[in-house]
Structure 1
């Protein structure tokens, strides 16, 4: 079993030890050390990375895992021409401290959030996942609920930040087995032996084998982003520490810039934005009505220019403008309101040819078959079909075949 130096001092960044065993897995070397500060992946917390130095050489630690026997293995990336340390050789290790400290902030912050969730909702927290950008926990809520309203999420966040500000001392230790039943653990341990307890200011107490901060205030800040149902549970997305601070700075900068552009204070931004969006929607509706009116005004001219077949049927073939597309169906209906009319309409827009073919009710022509014969993709009812093409060939084919209806 490897000596877990990170249990003895989670803030220590460098250490000296000895190489005890080397394995090769899929062509990659893995090294076991007598003792290590490198935390192995587990409990939702990612592994540490860093460097190992020995005999004038340096190797990168790119992954850390622990086996069932408690041996911690370090995946090594060697520089070209470098060699591995010999068994028993002294090795100097150094962890990537910014990465470790970030994980400690996320992990400790999660403990505080989970306890607040339990106190305010009775929810039981399952797996933690510390992602590269966002962290999540899954929560089983009473009565199989899978949602929490914004008010409750806000209360959880407020309580968590209050506990951080109270700056409780964080103590991680291995209590005697007979003392465990008397401890106010938030949930039962998942192991039976060597149970390590994390106590955060007497507020939060749970069994945990991760790395933690020494005081609650070192978490700095927690921010709940949102929550959503996930596999019968509630999944909570959050940030802690410097991640939360960066998120706040990003959001504040964006809000300040938007507020400046709208000539309001940041706190007035939601109301002003709602007003602007309403004004834009009203303007779009007014513009749409004007464009529709303009499109429909073309109907008399389209009928006047229609191709008149030998039996008196009229075929309207028209390539309309892109601005006519929203009113395309309305134009077609106006045309076929006349007797014995076939309307073949096309609107080229954004590199596609949008087709709409329709006929009067007093005609017996299957336009569904007709549009397919042009090579266009689409279909519909015998009297009214839509289609589209990536080029003009189907539209040109429709115009060529139209006189032969």
Structure 2
């Protein structure tokens, strides 16, 4: 299994790695800073720099649904290096950092809407959460509440709780459809100051001040009890 360096430090931009396997259109490494698509967050893109100077473009990163293997997807037609090749894996940092800011902003929004989350998606320019909510919230009031927490520059901390602790505190899980993976002994958590605390495997900024001001976009009705709230950077 690929060692997930980004879980402990979202600010790692590159790492040394060795190719442990390949399959059609994909490279598998012993360790990686590339986040694989999951939890509503897109996978990382970037480059692999081989010792002979060859540069391979990584278009996306995903997890194999059956094995959990990290697949670094190359551009179509790219020759795959042999197993054992050593390289430097470098993420597209500007893109990743924008996704980190967005993801953390959604955690704050989640704390300001008193309803379960029924879906979500993180993007570079726009992100959204779907809430099990009968009525739309006041957009201006919600944006003001989120921006107040951003301006307060509160710390964002990575930690973990045991499977047993999570089972004893089911209210920590805000999402209705996606449950955090268990069975490994512990579950990764994200704490946003005194604002939000929940299981999450995504990448985040170190403090809310890094997010920058946001605005609330469309609030869409997606069902009798489903309101989609879109968020943008100001």
TM-score over 0.5 (shorter chain): yes
* Cα 1:216/1:133, change in 2 over 3 Å: closer
**1:10 and 1:133 mapped to 2: Cα distance?**
20
The alpha-carbon deviation at position 229 of structure 1 amounts to 0.2
1:61 paired with 2:91, answer no
1:34 paired with 2:30, answer yes
1:164 paired with 2:150, answer yes
1:222 to 197, 205, 214: 214
What's 2:188 paired with? 196
Q: How does 1:145-294 map to 2 (within 5 A)?
A: 145=134, 147-148=135-136, 152-180=138-166, 181=168, 185=172, 187=174, 189-193=179-183, 194-232=186-224, 233-239=226-232, 244-245=233-234
What's 1:11 paired with? 11
Count of matched residue positions in the alignment of Structure 1 and Structure 2: 225
The alpha-carbon deviation at position 12 of structure 1 amounts to 1.1
What's 1:130 paired with? 122
SS at match of 2:41: coil
> RMSD value over aligned CA atoms?
2.0
Superposed CA offset, 1:259-285 (max 9, x none)? xxxxxxxxxxxxxxxxxxxxxxxxxxx
The alpha-carbon deviation at position 187 of structure 1 amounts to 2.6
Q: Whose relative contact order is higher, 1 or 2, with alpha carbons under 8 Å and at least 6 apart?
A: 2
**2:204 and 2:158 mapped to 1: Cα distance?**
8
**1:170 and 1:183 mapped to 2: Cα distance?**
22
The alpha-carbon deviation at position 131 of structure 1 amounts to 3.4
1:95 to 91, 95, 99: 91
Q: TM-score with structure 2 length normalisation?
A: 0.88
SS at match of 1:47: coil
1:23 paired with 2:23, answer yes
Superposed CA offset, 1:275-315 (max 9, x none)? xxxxxxxxxxxxxxxxxxxxxxxxxxxxxxxxxxxxxxxxx
* Cα 1:78/1:58, change in 2 over 3 Å: farther
* Cα 1:124/1:102, change in 2 over 3 Å: same
1:43 paired with 2:39, answer yes
List gaps (5 residues or longer) in structure 2: none
**2:63 and 2:96 mapped to 1: Cα distance?**
17
**1:132 and 1:34 mapped to 2: Cα distance?**
28
SS at match of 2:147: helix
* Cα 1:208/1:2, change in 2 over 3 Å: same
List gaps (5 residues or longer) in structure 1: 246-405
The 8 Å contact of residues 164 and 221 in structure 1, kept in 2 or not, is answered as yes
SS at match of 2:113: helix
Q: Rg larger in 1 or in 2?
A: 1
SS at match of 1:196: strand
The alpha-carbon deviation at position 132 of structure 1 amounts to 4.8
Q: Which has the higher helix share?
A: 1
* Cα 1:100/1:132, change in 2 over 3 Å: closer
The alpha-carbon deviation at position 202 of structure 1 amounts to 2.6
The 8 Å contact of residues 42 and 122 in structure 2, kept in 1 or not, is answered as yes
Q: TM-score with structure 1 length normalisation?
A: 0.52
Superposed CA offset, 1:358-378 (max 9, x none)? xxxxxxxxxxxxxxxxxxxxx
**1:198 and 1:210 mapped to 2: Cα distance?**
9
